[in-house]
């Protein structure tokens, strides 16, 4: 189902069949595709970086520098070619409180510390734990993020000059009205139509770039009165200056920035690793999670010393890049360098681009990102999975991505534990020798330990009871404690119990308790995490 959904996403994005793609050697044609894809991404990055800088309460150049530095470094050393990173709204909404209370210098210090934490996570190879994110959470993630991207574009439909106060488009400011609104809506629709039609005509120029170019040329030629990039803020600037954050190196400073750094590091890694998985499904790549953590960390550490607000992977821009044909690191590097060129030399030209063209591109990203077939499978999948998809989607929109993913994983884990807890049962029969055999079915762990203890009829059982674990697995210390509790009850009743088909580690530990006769014939050697019990002596009072 997962691959089917991703294949559908690839189709909606008008991607070429991956099985027909040539290798990724930089032939002249491949280089052209990568450079044009990078240009398209850079154009889409400009209003996003400026808007997220406004959300965080910092100067637009702080967002643009972050988009340039984070994008460049992650493109060079990141775990997945094709991904685009930069300043993001998920992180900006956390930064705004820090900036408001302590100023932008504390933000730069926080970004440096955040980067160091991310590097540490990568060195410890914690990125591999992203595989624990269930598929329903992934669906909720892409759906929620698609809605967030859509809502973020609504601020562009407000009167120029009030945009910086609107956050994600849900705040104050006056909406466009009358002819100006209708003109902008028409230009948005025209951009979307060009992006939809262009791949059916030619792939020589990426469809989003063609849409931006045609609509921008039309607006400039006709002198249409619609909001433009320059109405948000000027993007003119110089090279990012090296700057050590001007904060006192004290314990009090660490107490201020550490909580924000931890939250931002978690948000950045979760969004980056989920985007890495999504891009990997589309481009047919695997692995690179720990490398991506290190890349994000290095990028943010450097950005903090060059006056940037930090960032992480951007699913919207990554989808634009993939849609435009970007498959190598060249596209991401080109996007970052084009953005720097815009800041240094081409600001007057870029500021003439109508926001409607960029909104149209992002609306197509929304359509391509949202897993529409997840709406049809809601009635086909288990109720818990359907609930998790909706829950993660809503929490992503209402709160933030990190909270949504954590909530989704917890709910999925609890549902899994509950379902497995109900599976524990036993088949019983008596042997010719008069012993009663309990054939345990289902996993024995903390969730099913109480049910395991309740399965036994200690008063009516004969003097010898055999518990066979051939069709079960003993998972954790709670399970061992449950086995010990049953053994103690039989011993108190003057009866003997034998355990069969346990792992060597398990019955060695149980022997230490001094109650059990363990038949070790045909016992398996599957892994059991009992080190904690052995070290602490929790089991059996040792």
Give the whole-angstrom CA distance, residue 111 versus residue 11. Answer: 37
Half-sphere exposure of 310 (CA within 13 A, CB side): 37
> How do residues 391-423 score in pLDDT, each as one tens digit?
999 998 888 777 888 899 999 989 888 888 888
- Write out the two tokens for 355: 């926001």
Picking from 316, 230, 267, the residue whose alpha carbon sits closest to that of residue 95 is 267
Q: Are residues 226 and 94 in the same domain?
A: yes
Backbone angles phi and psi of 235, in degrees to 5: -105, 10
DSSP bridge partners of 428: 438
Q: Are residues 431 and 289 in the same domain?
A: no
Q: Are residues 395 and 439 in the same domain?
A: no
Q: Are residues 257 and 291 in the same domain?
A: yes
- For all residues of the chain together, what is the average pLDDT? 84
Give the whole-angstrom CA distance, residue 393 versus residue 368. Answer: 16
Domain boundary pick from 399, 433, 453: 399
Band (pLDDT 50/70/90 cuts) for residue 445 is confident
* pLDDT(424) > 50: yes
Band (pLDDT 50/70/90 cuts) for residue 236 is very high
Give the whole-angstrom CA distance, residue 249 versus residue 5. Answer: 50
Q: Are residues 362 and 436 in the same domain?
A: no
Q: Are residues 357 and 289 in the same domain?
A: yes
CA distances from 387 to 391, 401, 407, 414 (A): 6, 17, 12, 13
Q: Is residue 343 part of a domain?
A: yes
* pLDDT(521) > 70: no
Q: Is 213 exposed, middle or buried (0-12, 13-18, 19+ CB in 10 A)?
A: middle
* pLDDT(208) > 70: yes
Picking from 186, 191, 189, 184, the residue whose alpha carbon sits closest to that of residue 160 is 184
- Ranges 269-283, 328-342, 424-438, most confident: 328-342
Q: Is residue 113 part of a domain?
A: yes
Q: Which residue has the tokens 């991207």?
A: 149
Q: Are residues 291 and 177 in the same domain?
A: yes
Q: Is residue 26 part of a domain?
A: no
Q: What is the rounded average pLDDT of the residues 374-387?
A: 87
* pLDDT(325) > 60: yes
Q: Are residues 509 and 390 in the same domain?
A: no
List helix spans (H) across 382-431. 383-398, 401-421
E-assigned strand segments in 417-493: 425-430, 436-441, 464-471
What pLDDT score was predicted for residue 165?
43
Picking from 275, 256, 260, the residue whose alpha carbon sits closest to that of residue 309 is 260
Judged by average pLDDT, the poorest of 203-217, 281-295, 367-381, 525-539 is: 525-539
Q: Are residues 384 and 293 in the same domain?
A: yes
Q: Are residues 370 and 486 in the same domain?
A: no
Picking from 314, 305, 244, the residue whose alpha carbon sits closest to that of residue 274 is 314
Give the whole-angstrom CA distance, residue 153 versus residue 169. Answer: 7
| Residue 168 near residue 56, CB atoms below 8 Å | no
Domain boundary pick from 399, 414, 440: 399
CATH of the domain at 445: 3.30.750.24
Q: Which residue has the tokens 């690839």?
A: 10
Q: Is residue 417 part of a domain?
A: no
Q: What domain range is 40 assigned to? A: 31-399
Give the whole-angstrom CA distance, residue 164 versus residue 360. Answer: 20
Q: Are residues 260 and 347 in the same domain?
A: yes
Q: Is residue 144 part of a domain?
A: yes
Band (pLDDT 50/70/90 cuts) for residue 529 is very low
Half-sphere exposure of 325 (CA within 13 A, CB side): 25
Domain boundary pick from 399, 433, 468: 399
* pLDDT(168) > 80: no
Q: Are residues 363 and 429 in the same domain?
A: no
Q: What is the rounded average pLDDT of the residues 444-448?
A: 88
Band (pLDDT 50/70/90 cuts) for residue 508 is low
E-assigned strand segments in 56-193: 85-86
Domains contained in the chain, number: 2
> How do residues 49-73 score in pLDDT, each as one tens digit?
888 888 888 999 999 999 999 999 9
- Sort strands 436-441 and 496-500 into parallel, antiparallel or unpaired: unpaired
Q: Is residue 415 part of a domain?
A: no
Band (pLDDT 50/70/90 cuts) for residue 523 is low
pTM value is 0.76
Q: Is residue 249 part of a domain?
A: yes
First CA to last CA across the chain, in angstroms? Answer: 48
Band (pLDDT 50/70/90 cuts) for residue 512 is low
469: helix, strand or coil: strand
Q: Is residue 15 part of a domain?
A: no
């Amino acid at each position: 189902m997962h691959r089917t959904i991703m294949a559908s996403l690839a189709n909606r994005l008008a991607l070429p069949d991956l099985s027909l793609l040539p290798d990724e050697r930089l032939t002249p044609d491949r280089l052209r595709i990568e450079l044009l894809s990078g240009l398209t991404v850079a154009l889409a990055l400009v209003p996003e970086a400026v808007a997220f800088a406004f959300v965080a309460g910092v100067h637009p150049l702080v967002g643009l520098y972050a988009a340039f530095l984070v994008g460049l470094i992650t493109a060079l050393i990141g775990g997945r070619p094709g991904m685009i990173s930069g300043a993001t709204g998920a992180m900006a909404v956390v930064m705004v409180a820090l900036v408001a209370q302590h100023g932008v210098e504390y933000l730069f210090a926080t970004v440096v510390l955040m980067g160091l934490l991310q590097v540490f996570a990568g060195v410890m190879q914690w990125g591999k734990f992203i595989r624990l994110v269930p598929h329903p959470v992934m669906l909720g993630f892409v759906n929620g993020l698609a809605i967030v991207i859509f809502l973020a574009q609504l601020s562009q439909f407000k009167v120029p000059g009030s945009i910086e106060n609107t956050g994600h488009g849900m705040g104050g400011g006056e909406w466009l009205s009358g002819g100006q609104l209708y003109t902008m809506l028409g230009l948005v629709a025209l951009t979307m139509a060009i992006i939809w039609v262009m791949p059916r005509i030619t792939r020589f120029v990426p469809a989003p770039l063609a849409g931006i170019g045609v609509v921008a040329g039309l607006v400039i030629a006709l002198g249409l009165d619609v909001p433009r990039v320059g109405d948000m803020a000027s993007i003119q600037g110089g090279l990012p200056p090296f700057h050590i954050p001007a904060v006192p190196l004290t314990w009090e400073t660490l107490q201020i920035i550490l909580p924000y750094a931890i939250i931002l590091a978690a948000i950045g890694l979760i969004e980056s690793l989920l985007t890495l998985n999504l891009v990997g499904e589309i481009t047919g790549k695997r692995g690179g999670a720990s490398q991506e953590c290190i890349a994000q960390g290095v990028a943010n550490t450097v950005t903090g010393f060059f006056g940037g607000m930090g960032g992480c992977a951007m699913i919207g821009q990554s989808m634009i890049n993939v849609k435009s044909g970007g498959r190598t690191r060249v596209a991401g590097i080109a996007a970052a360098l084009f953005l720097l060129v815009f800041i240094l030399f081409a600001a007057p030209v870029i500021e003439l681009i109508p926001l409607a063209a960029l909104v149209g591109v992002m609306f197509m990203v929304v359509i391509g990102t949202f897993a529409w077939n997840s709406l049809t499978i809601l009635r086909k999948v288990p109720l818990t999975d359907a609930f998790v998809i909706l829950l993660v989607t809503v929490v992503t929109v209402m709160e933030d991505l990190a909270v949504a993913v954590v909530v989704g994983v917890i709910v999925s884990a609890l549902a899994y534990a509950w379902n497995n807890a109900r599976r524990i049962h036993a088949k019983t029969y008596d042997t010719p020798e008069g012993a009663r055999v309990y054939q345990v079915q289902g996993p024995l762990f903390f969730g099913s330990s109480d049910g395991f203890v309740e399965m036994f009829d200690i008063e009516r059982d004969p003097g010898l009871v055999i518990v066979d674990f051939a069709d079960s697995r003993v998972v954790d210390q709670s399970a061992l404690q449950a086995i010990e509790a049953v053994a103690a009850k039989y011993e108190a009743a003057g009866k003997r119990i034998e355990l069969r088909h346990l792992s060597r580690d398990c019955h060695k530990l149980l022997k230490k308790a001094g109650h059990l006769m363990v038949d070790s014939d045909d016992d398996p050697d599957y892994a059991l995490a009992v080190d904690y019990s052995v070290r602490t002596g929790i089991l059996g009072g040792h």
